[in-house]
Structure 1
């Protein structure tokens, strides 16, 4: 079941969403790459940092969302490409290939990693990051509520993100011929507002569920979802703490 993306909703917590990207790309040792690719670039706001870091490189922002790629096309220094990362082919060998918080939306994405590794030039780098928080209340509450009546019949077959642990990605990329460094980090995001966790997930993991519901049911679902999230993530007067585990891997083609 297809769903659309809202750059505005996604960027409501732009600073928090940027932190894993910055930590990931800080581990890239590429000197002067000629071609840099961001697979699943979204609105291109983070891809722009790659263009600023390597101003002489060709920097491609690839995304399957028309709404997101239209925003990326407005950023100087980027070549915006509307394509599915599962099937997209680069115009030539890639020196730096980044995929930040995108592969979790691709079913069986471990099987995709050898193809991505094969895009690299000798000495090229592949850097990936995926969320690893799908068993946290922000996700389990949504799944439990969506399985209840009257919502369940409307959310069959929706996109459902998933990921693996760092060791699994390390082995998969090693088997694809790369030298690999992999790690995990849990960020503690302090969010403010009446329903900040709902606002966060509404821009990402909960979006397919919300869009699948008919208009007469969506408000009722949202109110119950918000109430359960407030109980799971209380505000003690200093903001709501949202623990967010992220999984990273950086590989180099020898």
Structure 2
């Protein structure tokens, strides 16, 4: 079963999900780019920040989710396209007639198991002297992910979720070395955010809108509810609320900004 995305559910934590994008963009010193592309633009709320930053640029938001692009089309002044990132990065791709001056990808590459192999092709789409900036989660060893894996590997769930999309990333030095080998100037770093969440099951609400969504959607009625109940209970234990009902969820993210040689 192919999963779909829910823009409203994703935007439930828009501020927390948006901060890494702002931190990434702050390290891109491009002044007057002509062509700017956001790969994996989601519902477009963050892509609009690119239009604010560079009002004279031709800005395109690309996402493989028709649901996300449908939500993004409410934002004017930006071109929106439904496309697979890997197709866009093909050497013979003709989506754009000009090289990209600023290429941004926020919390998207982790869905491509082979994204280290895709990165050189993305750099190829950047104009000489242009910028390529991306951010991926680096928290896949945390209970928010490992508990999903543990439950999904057991019967009766395993037979239904085998082969579903599961996000993963590499270490910062992996990205730094690859981009350096491509001849780029490189700035790579990591940050662990401490998100303060509230609600009955806030960590479940977070992961069920992103990393765990393909697994949950792959389960049939009945089993899906059982899986969710078990997952919620384990997450509550792993991320206990304090006396005021607040939950602190650490979230590590990995950032890379590369400038292509002029």
Task: Indicate the TM-score class for this superposition, using the shorter chain for normalisation.
Answer: over 0.9
In the alignment, which residue of structure 1 is the partner of 2:165?
159
Pairing partner for 2:111 from 80, 105, 112: 105
TM-score (norm 1): 0.98
Aligned length: 254
Q: Give the Å deviation of 1:87.
A: 1.1
In the alignment, which residue of structure 2 is the partner of 1:251?
258
Distance 2:2 2:110 in 1: 16
Would you identify which runs of 4 or more consecutive aligned residues in structure 1 move more than 2 Å?
A: none
Distance 2:238 2:232 in 1: 10
In the alignment, which residue of structure 1 is the partner of 2:37?
37
Q: Give the Å deviation of 1:74.
A: 1.5
Q: Does 1:46 align with 2:46?
A: yes
The one-character-per-residue Cα deviations of 1:26-74 (angstroms, maximum 9, x if unpaired) are 0000000000000000011000000111111000000000000111122
State the SS of the aligned residue for 2:85.
Answer: coil
Q: Give the Å deviation of 1:237.
A: 2.4
* Structure 2 spans left out of the alignment, 5+ residues: none
Q: Give the Å deviation of 1:174.
A: 1.2
- Within 5 Å, give how 1:1-254 maps onto structure 2: 1-88=1-88, 89=93, 90-91=95-96, 92-238=98-244, 239-254=246-261
Q: Give the Å deviation of 1:76.
A: 1.1
Distance 1:172 1:39 in 2: 19
* Structure 1 spans left out of the alignment, 5+ residues: none
Distance 1:231 1:107 in 2: 30
The one-character-per-residue Cα deviations of 1:148-194 (angstroms, maximum 9, x if unpaired) are 11111110000011101111101111112211000000000000000
State the SS of the aligned residue for 2:45.
Answer: coil
Q: Is the 8 A contact 1:125 1:252 kept in 2?
A: yes
State the SS of the aligned residue for 2:77.
Answer: coil
Q: Is the 8 A contact 1:65 1:82 kept in 2?
A: yes
TM-score (norm 2): 0.95
* Aligned residues: CA RMSD: 0.8
